[in-house]
Amino acid sequence: MTTPSEQKMRAAIAARDSNFDGRFFYGVITTGVFCRPSCASRPARPENLRFFSTAEAALAAGFRPCERCQPTDLIPGLSRLVGVARFIESHADERLSLAALARKMDLSPSRFQRVFKAAFGVSPKSYQDAARMRRFKTALKDGDDVTGAIFAAGFGSVSRVYGEATRNIGMTPKAYRAGGAGESIAYACRDTALGPLLMAATKRGVCFAQFGEDEQGLLEQLQAEFPKAKLSASPAQDAFELDAWVEALNAHITRGAPRPDQPLDLRGTAFQIRVWRFLLSVREGEVLSYSELAERIGKPTAARAVASACAVNRIGVLVPCHRVLRSDGGLGGYRWGLERKRVLLDAERSRQAASK
């Protein structure tokens, strides 16, 4: 059965038409919840709706099932799978075997592994690791020492967490807690369709990607951002693929190549990092307002703080703060100039239109 047109989906939601239940699902970006068309919840503003052909697609996009209309009940077994996922989150600090989780679904371990990954995009182990890492970062932000945070999150050993935390936080735990001072940073500069771009990276990922008028001015900005770091121009063999990363981002900006999925070394306050990480989930061609972004991260009164976090973002395009607009649809601000923001948005809209 094909997905209805957007006009029909909007009409079905307005009429709460149960005939469309199962044919599509809709998410509300201000709440992070997705529903079936007949849901009796208070209507959302039309611009806050996102449409999905399946419940699995809504889950994969980061929306959670509505507790009122229970949209996952329409998919055999999916509501039970969501229950298992919630169990994993609440027991992330415990040792959970694949066999024990599979028994909750009355499935073999191999079958459960396939079903879980199909629904959530990751294996049960990766899902638990991510939940455990969230606890670890929360403990660090709340002021725990590194060792205490490691055991509070359920990692069980100091040696185990370092490799995993580096991949997920973008820096070592002590550097994360101390603000990343004292790092060695390599940089490279390229001309792009948006002007000169300077990208810099630590061993863990990109920490700086900014546009400017010339390389010297950009290098001065990098030095101002990281005054205690050791900076060096990037020879490709010693800079952890930095030159390739710059070329990939340039290809995205100049020729419309896919946005590169590069490791990032995010540095800022807990609130700023929360904003930047959410921005990583905003897909090309989509936009939202500062107030909507504040709602989505659970801080509905923090629209101004969200705007400030966007304004101090050091990693242009890769952390897509250009997709955040004013509530009236105006461009708002952009650290690298409104013309660059307009060019990025127009290019993304054109690519989205061409792909339909």
Q: Which amino acid is at 29?
A: I
Q: CA 127 from chain center: how many Å?
A: 15
> What is the CATH number that goes with domain 6-74?
3.40.10.10
76-178 shares the fold of 6-74: no
CB 234 within 8 A of CB 187: yes
Tokens of 5: 């047109």
Q: Report the alpha-carbon distance of residue 164 to residue 162 in Å, rounded.
A: 6
Tokens of 294: 């504040």
Tokens of 77: 């077994």
Convert the pLDDT of each residue in 50-67 to its tens digit: 888 877 777 766 677 888
CB 44 within 8 A of CB 28: yes
* Non-local CB neighbours of 7 within 8 Å, separated by 6+ positions: none
Q: Report the alpha-carbon distance of residue 67 to residue 164 in Å, rounded.
A: 33
CB 152 within 8 A of CB 143: no
Neighbour tally for 156: CB within 10 Å: 12
263 three-state secondary structure: coil
349 three-state secondary structure: helix
> What is the CATH number that goes with domain 184-255?
3.30.160.70
Determine the number of helices (DSSP H) and then strands (DSSP E) in the chain. 15, 10
Which DSSP string do the residues of 194-262 spell out, in sequence order?
Answer: TEEEEEEEETTEEEEEEE-SSHHHHHHHHHHH-TTSEEEE--GGGTTTHHHHHHHHHHHHHH-PPPP--
78-90 helix and 124-141 helix, angle to the nearest 10 degrees: 40
Angle 214-250-227 from CA coordinates, rounded to 5°: 50
Residue 321 appears among annotated catalytic residues: yes
In our burial notation (b when 16+ CB lie closer than 10 A, e otherwise), range 23-39 reads bbbbbbbbbebbbbbbb
Right CATH for 270-355 from 1.10.357.10, 1.10.10.10, 2.40.30.20, 3.40.920.10: 1.10.10.10
Residue 66 appears among annotated catalytic residues: no
Q: Which stretches in the chain have pLDDT values below 70?
A: 1-2, 60-62, 73-79, 118-122, 130, 133-182, 235-241, 355-356
191 three-state secondary structure: strand
pLDDT at 148: 43
Sign of CA dihedral 172, 177, 182, 186: positive
Bridge partners (DSSP) of residue 191 are 196
Which DSSP string do the residues of 288-348 spell out, in sequence order?
Answer: EEHHHHHHHTT-TT-HHHHHHHHHT-SBTTTS-GGGEE-TTS-----TT-HHHHHHHHHHH
> Which among 39, 189, 310, 321 is annotated as catalytic?
321
Decide if domain 76-178 falls under CATH 1.10.10.60: yes
The kind and range of the H/E element at 186 are strand 184-192
Residue extents of the structural domains in the chain? 6-74, 76-178, 184-255, 270-355
> Which among 35, 39, 66, 189 is annotated as catalytic?
35
